[in-house]
Amino acid sequence: MPSIEAITPTIRKTALNPVHRAMGAKMVEFNGWDMPVEYPSAGGIIAEHNAVRTSVGIFDVSHMGDIRLSGLDALDAVQHISMNDASRLAIGQAQYSALLYPQGTFVDDVIVHRLAETDYLLVINAGTREKDFNWVRDNTRHFNCKVENLSDEFTQIAIQGPQGVELLQKLTDADLSAVKFYWVTRGTVCGLKNTLIARTGYTGEDGFEIYVPPDESTSAMVWNKVLEAGKELAVAPCGLGARNTLRLEAKLPLYGHEISDNINVWEAGLDRFCKMEKPDFIGRAALEKSKAEGVKRMLVGLEMIERGIARDGYKVLDETGSEIGYVTSGSFAPFLKKNIALAYVPPQFAAVGSTVKVEIRGQGVKAQVVPTPFYKRPKRT
């Protein structure tokens, strides 16, 4: 008989886990990680969400994984395994992209950062860390390129919201005003030299993600200094609950929901991140075929017209009650104060203004296809 320890999957913890618990966060399991879902002391999900929209919030996103590709053929390797055109990246620039299966469906979505001439960092999802690393390693063997799994090398903290730049600037010598959205820099942060600072995020707001050493004391020191520096900006510590509602309002896909191994790029509507004209990449041939044939379903934004909240997995029905699709993510949207959802429906129902129903506890509840993203941050000067 195997011991209980051997058959029970280990719940992983980030270096900030004791800090979250000391702050009274409600903890949940997410993709095998023990993570904060909300901080009642910060007012909970809605207050955390709105802090990010109107001022600033911080998140522990250390569960995200990191894969480094470096060496002579690093660019060719990245080009081969990802759908966006990494040759367009200047040193210090980042892009949203995805790793695809030969069928044109998703291994994962990623942010590709070009850190140096032949040095790329892929930031990947928590739930797909091992799968992604194995996929990248196995599919880049024929390139002169070193592939490293750096997932456990960083504590990653996201500082998100219109006041994120003001907050982080207090803690670093790097000139953040010179760092554009989806660019990276390095600087001293909280006394830590050469810290990677990326102007990226998963909230639909301006913001930064910083990568600091993963030991508990350094991680706690940085987290606490960020909170302290953000006091006058009313910074909120934020959990995965707000992270999910923020990304939903901004229509940022979540692996296992809007994208997966049986959804392709065109269905997910991620066309503008897929560069068919660049050199061949895994999934390209299938996508070309799919484009010629046309897709059978499309990701749309729904707003509930009648009372009810569409939730992940709920059925989408036509006016007559026939099943036509399903909800991938749905929630009350805390900033927009509406009940919104993302769903896959056939193209004939995908036009903005189309009316459908969502089956909620056996009842068809009316919803309308609306433009997405539901929320777009205002241009600030």
Q: Which residues of this protein are in contact with another protein, per CB under 8 A?
A: 26, 37-38, 40, 44-46, 241, 244-245, 307-309, 311, 331-332, 334, 339, 361
Minimum CB separation of residue 46 from another protein in Å reads 5
CB 246 → another protein: shortest distance, Å? 11
What is the DSSP secondary-structure string of 122-186?
A: EEE-GGGHHHHHHHHHHTSTTSS-EEEE-TTS-EEEEEESTTHHHHHHTTBSS-GGG--TTBEEE
Minimum Å gap between C-beta 320 and another protein is: 24
Residue whose CB is less far from another protein, 236 or 268:
236
Looking at beta carbons only, is 44 or 207 nearer to another protein? Answer: 44
Nearer to another protein, 348 or 363 (CB): 363
Q: Which is nearer to another protein, 160 or 245 (CB)?
A: 245
Buried/exposed code over 179-214 (b: 16+ C-beta within 10 A; e: otherwise): beebbbbebebbebeebbbbbbbbbbbbbbbbbbeb
Q: What are phi and psi of 145, to 5 degrees?
A: -160, 135
Minimum Å gap between C-beta 314 and another protein is 10
Question: Which CB, 38 or 209, lies closer to another protein?
Answer: 38
Compute the least distance from the CB of residue 49 to another protein, in Å. Answer: 8
Reported in sequence order, the residue ranges of the chain that DSSP labels E, i.e. its strands, are 26-30, 33-38, 57-60, 65-70, 94-100, 106-116, 119-124, 146-149, 155-160, 184-189, 192-198, 207-212, 236-238, 298-304, 315-317, 323-333, 338-345, 355-360, 363-370
d(CA 99, CA 82): 5
Report the DSSP pairing between strands 119-124 and 106-116: antiparallel
Q: At what angle do helices 45-54 and 240-249 cross, to 10 degrees?
A: 50
Of residues 65 and 330, the one with the C-beta less far from another protein: 330
Sign of the alpha-carbon dihedral angle for 98, 99, 105, 108: negative
Shortest distance, position 361 Cβ to another protein, whole Å? 7
Please report how close the Cβ of residue 47 comes to another protein at its closest, in angstroms. 8
- Nearest-approach distance from CB 227 to another protein, in angstroms: 21
Whichever of 137 and 366 has its CB closer to another protein, that residue is: 366
**Which of residues 46 and 220 has its CB atom nearest to another protein in the complex?**
46
Pull the structure tokens for residue 4.
């209980």
Beta strands 236-238; 57-60: pairing state: parallel
